[in-house]
Chain A
Amino acid sequence: MTIVATPGAAGRSPMSEQRPAFELRDAFAEHGPSLLGFAVNALRDRGLAEDCVQETFLRAWRARERFDGDRGSVRTWLFAIIRRVVLDAHRSRARSPLLVPEHDAPESVHETDPLERIGIVDGLAQLSAPHRDAVVAIHVTGLSYQELSERTGVPVATLRTRVFYALRALRTALDEVDPTP
């Protein structure tokens, strides 16, 4: 199996003459979890992440007349928007340190260039759950394929191919220039 990224909701038939509409509730039901997954793992702050998702759908709703299904799927469009929203939130947070009780403080994140880290999280968020789970288990958590196989019941050979295609999809995602919404 080589298909990794989850397909968009409003794919348009090449023969269709009618632009696909942007339906906010449908889009949220289909893509909200992935968008929130990206925001939560990029920012490590659940409240801020939900605000980013809300901001993303607000911007999409306001720009819905300009959405062009010929240029990409709803999913691609929403990810392009939330990428900007999350980046702005990250920069804003970095500029405005707040004094908060220790137990309320957002978790610290790795000292890697935050933009680099957010880019990787973005790519992971767009993988299917089985591919993401496998690549995270092997290359983030550090499990061996045998250990992961014993935990999941999935054969080692299947896990290896999942990780291969996940890495390939990540490589492609990181090399793409995102479309302007």
Chain B
Amino acid sequence: MNDLEPDRRAELIAAALAGELTPDEGAELDALRADDPTIDAEFAELSAVAHALPAVERWDDVAPSASLAARIAALDDGGMADAPVTPIRSSRRLMRPLLLAVGAAACVGLGLGGGLLLAAPPAAVEGPPGTLGAVEEVAFEGAPESVEIDAALVAHTWGTETVLTVEGLDAGDAFTVVVVGEDGEEVESGTFLGSTVPIECRLNAAVLREDVAAVAIRAIDGGQIAVAEVPAV
């Protein structure tokens, strides 16, 4: 494990999430990742949260009004002891949708000497595209010459998994994998960091394989890096 100060690690990850790493910082973070495989996992988790935040639109700072304070004081004095209370339901679902909606990504750098590999898929299943559990090779096109991408899709009952091995994307830059539905709707599958070493990623999207028309890799500014059109199933 690298002895880097925790706040420097935090600082670099935060800058990467905002797409603001300088080239030197990108190289610094990439070197740090070689010793600390938790960085990619934490980056993916925090990226999912950061991507969900714009739904808030803005934050209004407010202070309780004098009227509200008076109502609470009256309550403390027993003035509202008989006020009706509406039955309530469990709010457990309230906390779950985000984690289901934002997709999940797991990435590791290959050839780092640590021997890390992402969990292999379950027993190999063979079949045409769309077969549950079968590995479907797909070809990404449009990537810069310096970038190599090997990719496959795996159909699941809950959606579609994208398995990527990517080499040649700028170290420290963030990239997003987007699943494009037959209806044109785009669902973010996860975000990963470019590296000087090959990166293997498994990214999940809650879109059934039969509804997937393409998978795209995009830069953090939305610019398309490569796209794989996939056959209808």
Among B20, B49, B76, find the residue whose CB has the most chain A CB atoms closer than 10 A: B49
Contact indicator A120/B52 (Cβ below 8 Å): yes
A122 contacts across to B, CB distance below 8 A: 94-95
Contact mask B42-58 → A, CB, 8 Å, 1/0?
10011011101111111
A28-B72 contact in complex given A140-B54, A144-B18, A145-B20, C-beta closer than 8 Å? yes
Contact indicator B88/A36 (Cβ below 8 Å): no
A88 contacts across to B, CB distance below 8 A: 86, 88-89
* CB of A22 to closest CB in B, whole Å: 11
A5 contacts across to B, CB distance below 8 A: none
> Number of residue pairs across A and B with beta carbons under 8 Å?
176
| A32-56 contacts to B (CB < 8 Å) | 32-33, 36-37, 40-41, 46, 49-50, 53-55
A28-B69 contact in complex given A165-B10, A171-B46, A177-B92, C-beta closer than 8 Å? yes
Contact indicator A84/B88 (Cβ below 8 Å): yes
Which of these binds chain B: A6-14, A65-73, A97-105, A106-114?
A106-114
| B1-46 contacts to A (CB < 8 Å) | 6-7, 10-11, 13-15, 17-18, 20, 42, 45-46
Contact indicator A120/B76 (Cβ below 8 Å): no
B98 contacts across to A, CB distance below 8 A: 116, 119-120, 174
For residue A77, CB closer than 8 A to chain B, the reply is no
Contact indicator B85/A59 (Cβ below 8 Å): yes
Choice from B48, B72, B81 contacting A54 with Cβ under 8 Å: B72
A74 contacts across to B, CB distance below 8 A: none
For residue B124, CB closer than 8 A to chain A, the reply is no
A62 to B86, CA, bound (A): 13
Contact indicator B72/A41 (Cβ below 8 Å): no
For residue A24, CB closer than 8 A to chain B, the reply is yes
Contact indicator B60/A160 (Cβ below 8 Å): no
For residue B127, CB closer than 8 A to chain A, the reply is no
Contact indicator B95/A178 (Cβ below 8 Å): yes
A136-B10 contact in complex given A25-B76, A144-B20, A164-B46, C-beta closer than 8 Å? no
For residue A17, CB closer than 8 A to chain B, the reply is no
Contact indicator B18/A140 (Cβ below 8 Å): no
Among A61, A118, A139, A170, find the residue whose CB has the most chain B CB atoms closer than 10 A: A139
A133 to B59, CA, bound (A): 8
Chain B residues with CB under 8 Å of chain A are 6-7, 10-11, 13-15, 17-18, 20, 42, 45-46, 48-50, 52-65, 67-69, 71-73, 75-76, 80-81, 83, 85-86, 88-95, 97-99, 101
7 A-B pairs with CB atoms under 8 Å apart are A28-B64, A62-B85, A110-B56, A140-B56, A145-B15, A174-B95, A175-B99
